[in-house]
């Protein structure tokens, strides 16, 4: 396992943030422990720590990523962690610094499966010239992700929710896993859209909530069919 500095690698006081993005340290000050809910595919895990571990900046992203890798058996290098639509990239930063507090919900995305192989050099596709790349601005990127999700993934979510029960539980779980990972990939694309414009940031947050709602509906449908 890797080791990280508890305060994000600096010696001074931890950075100040505007407020929690998920969870709330002030809830039940006499609670016996801090908890985080981590979701990976169709599984949910409850991570427990001594009270105020998060508030005192003793828990950072690297610690959490290592624990998720241990629980899910996914290679730590293949794991992405997301909270409130934000990807947690810097393992040295503490959760408290990011605004992640007791009771927060974390999404873990990653699999040990190998990515699909690309066409070989002798295939016809390899002889075609690559399409020209169009540079999109932040707003266009956000809308492109939303349009793709609405047109191609939302119908699949609707079909899953309205399933007639013909699939076996194993098949249904596999469909849920693959569709959920695809949706999470689109959320990662939104996280990669960088902008300082408050209107664009608000629109990105709105689209993240919309897509997250479809993911929640997908999970609920799986639970109800179990």
Dist CA 32 CA 101 (whole Å): 15
> Is the residue at 38 inside a domain?
yes
Q: Which residues span the domain enclosing 103?
A: 1-112
pLDDT value for 195: 87
Looking at residue 71, which CATH number applies to its domain? Answer: 3.10.20.90
Q: Are 8 and 90 within one domain?
A: yes
Residues 6+ apart with CB under 8 A from 132: none
The answer to whether the beta carbons of residues 108 and 95 sit under 8 Å apart is no
Domain assignment present for 158: yes
Q: If you average pLDDT over each of 1-10, 61-70, 145-154, which comes out highest?
A: 61-70
- What's the confidence (pLDDT) of residue 43? 85
Residue 126 lies in a domain: no
Residue 108 shares a structural domain with residue 152? no
**Boundary of a domain, candidates 80, 112, 144:** 112
In a domain, 123, yes or no: no
pLDDT of 127 over the 70 cut? no
User: Looking at the 3D structure of the chain, how many domains does it have?
Assistant: 2
Q: Tell me, what's the pLDDT at 12?
A: 45
Check whether 226 has a pLDDT greater than 90: no
CATH code of the domain covering residue 166: 1.20.58.120
Q: Is residue 182 part of a domain?
A: yes
Q: Check whether residue 108 and residue 47 sit in a common domain.
A: yes
Contacts of 175 (CB under 8 A, 6+ apart): 160, 167
The label of the residue with tokens 């709105």 reads 206
The model's pLDDT over 77-126, given as tens digits with 9 standing for 90+, comes to: 888 898 887 888 899 999 999 999 999 999 888 877 665 444 555 544 44
Q: Are 34 and 50 in contact (CB under 8 A)?
A: yes
Residue 101 shares a structural domain with residue 143: no
Asked, for residue 119, whether it belongs to a domain, the answer is no
**Residue 117 lies inside a defined structural domain of this protein:** no
Q: What is the pTM of this model?
A: 0.52
């Amino acid at each position: 396992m890797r080791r990280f500095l508890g305060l994000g690698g600096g010696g001074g006081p931890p950075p100040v943030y505007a407020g929690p993005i998920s969870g709330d340290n002030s809830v039940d000050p006499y609670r016996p422990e801090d908890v985080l809910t981590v979701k990976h595919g169709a599984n949910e895990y409850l991570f427990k720590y001594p009270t105020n571990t998060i508030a005192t900046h003793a828990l950072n992203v690297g610690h959490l990523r290592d624990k998720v890798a241990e629980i899910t058996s996914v290679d730590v290098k293949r794991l992405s962690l997301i909270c409130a639509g934000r990807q947690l990239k810097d393992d040295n930063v503490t959760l408290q610094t990011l605004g992640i507090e007791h009771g927060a919900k974390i999404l873990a995305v990653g699999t040990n499966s190998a990515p699909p192989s690309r066409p070989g050099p002798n295939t016809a596709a390899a002889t075609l010239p690559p399409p020209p790349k169009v540079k999109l601005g932040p707003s266009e990127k956000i809308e492109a992700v939303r349009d793709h999700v609405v047109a191609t993934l939302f119908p699949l979510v609707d079909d899953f929710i309205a399933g007639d029960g013909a699939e076996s539980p194993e098949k249904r779980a596999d469909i849920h896993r693959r569709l959920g990972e695809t949706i999470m990939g689109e959320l990662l694309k939104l996280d990669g859209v960088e902008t300082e414009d408050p209107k664009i940031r608000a629109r990105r947050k709105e689209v993240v909530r919309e897509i997250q709602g479809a993911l929640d509906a997908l999970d609920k449908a799986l639970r109800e069919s179990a």
